[in-house]
Amino acid sequence: MKQLFITDVSPRDGLQNQALHLSTQDKRWLIEALSDSGIPRIEATSFVSPTGVPQMADAADLLAAVTGPASDKLCVLVPNSKGLFRAQDAGAREICVVLSATETMNQRNIRMGMAQAVSACLDVLQQAQEAGLRTRAYVAVAFACPFEGQTSPDLVMQLSKQMADAGADEVVIADTIGAAHPSQVSNLMGDLINTMGADRLGLHLHDTRGLGLANAWAAMQVGVNRFDSSAAGLGGCPFAPGAAGNLATEDLAWLAHESGYETGIDIPALLQVVEGLSMRLKKPLGGRSYAWLKQHFSKVSAEPHHALPGKQA
């Protein structure tokens, strides 16, 4: 059976733009519940300025709080060397850097121009590797930028190759504002797979224009098998106007399951995560399939954590 590897980013990308700030213990619950549902990797937090993103001010405390199997699945975002050193001190084992594919987005996101941002990412990747950490490199606004419009695919290819050549274990192409359409995704991701191979390539999708799942399917058809998504569709970059929620993990997991892909995710357990998030954030949440999935699985079994057909025991 074909494998699909999902990184859930709800604790970081999902919560960073929420008006209601969750406590460290609620974030711990989220991470450990995601892990228990079978999510193989979780983007837990970011070591950024607490002034710029106050929702992530407890990054070090959160890593210390998470224990058990979940602690082995965590990656964290770092904007620069200072963030990397803080993450190391907190015990991080995998870090992510973010390089935007336009000048203006780099200025808005990390207050650096393109050349300086590339150099900073390369430095952090090198330092992280020397420290024995796994690394991911995001290429953000890879399809369109809220400030500069359509992004050059050739530039995205160039930047992705730079990050891969610098030793990033995974290069993640990010549709930061959810502006891509399936043919764009097929073309860019197909070209990148031909250049880099599928094993080191991921895709981070937002659902701003309702095409998140269609874009995921287009990517799957050209061989992409690594995706970021967010439980309940939470998300939105505070520095990117129009960056609505991420592709919902429950939608992606169900698409994968119905299409013959193995994810290792227990969807009923994941639905309980969505329910818990709704309660804690005090608003109804869920991806496009959530209401149907909840009704469907309530009929299938009364067991809260039963295995899906094809799910590994």
Residues noted as catalytic: 237
Could you tell me the two tokens for 165? 């050549």
Q: Which are the contacts of 169, defined by CB distance < 8 A and separation ≥ 6?
A: 134, 135, 136, 200
Distance, in Å, from the CA atom of 280 to the CA atom of 32, rounded to the nearest integer, reads 15
**Of 1, 2, 4, nearest in space to 253 by CA:** 4
CB atoms within 10 A of CB 177: 23
Q: Decide the pairing of beta strands 2-3 and 261-262.
A: parallel
Gap between the Cα atoms of 214 and 220, Å rounded: 10
Tokens of 262: 């193995």
DSSP secondary structure, 180-223, as one string: --HHHHHHHHHHHHHHH-STTEEEEEB-TTS-HHHHHHHHHHTT
Q: What are phi and psi of 144, to 5 degrees?
A: -160, 150
Contact (Cβ atoms closer than 8 angstroms) between residue 290 and residue 232: yes
